[in-house]
């Protein structure tokens, strides 16, 4: 259930926040039964960090301290202007 939350697709990563209690997700409308491509074909991770260079251990350890917030796709919502 919670695995869907770790998908690279925004719609899926914004769902299934509860680890083993789906009630909150069902209450707030964020529950997804399964990923769009199915569990076997689902890509896990952050889409902006997929290259071999980004996945090296030294880069992963330094990443939280780098000043590159524009590369972080987490919680980026497109809001329509009125």
pLDDT computed for residue 74 by the predictor: 56
Q: What number is the average pLDDT over the span 18-39?
A: 84
pLDDT score, position 58: 92
Residue 7's SS3 state is strand
Quick one: which of 70, 49, 68, 71 has its CA closest to 60? 49
Radius of gyration of the chain (CA): 15
Domain ranges within the chain, ordered by starting residue: 2-66
Q: What is the pLDDT of residues 40-79, one digit of tens each?
A: 888 887 777 778 888 899 988 987 787 666 655 555 555 4
Determine contact, residues 32/13, Cβ cutoff 8 Å: no
* Total number of residues shown for the chain: 82
The pLDDT tens digits of the residues spanning 31-47 come to 888 888 888 888 887 77
Q: Say whether pTM exceeds 0.85.
A: no
> Would you state the pLDDT for residue 78?
53
């Amino acid at each position: 259930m919670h695995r869907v939350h770790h998908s690279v697709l925004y719609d899926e990563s914004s769902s299934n926040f509860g680890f083993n209690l789906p009630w909150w997700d069902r209450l707030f409308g964020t529950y997804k039964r399964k990923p769009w491509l199915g569990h076997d074909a689902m890509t896990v991770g952050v889409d902006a960090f997929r290259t071999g260079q980004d996945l090296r251990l030294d880069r992963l350890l330094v990443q939280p301290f780098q000043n590159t917030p524009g590369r972080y796709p987490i919680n980026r919502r497109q809001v329509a202007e009125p």
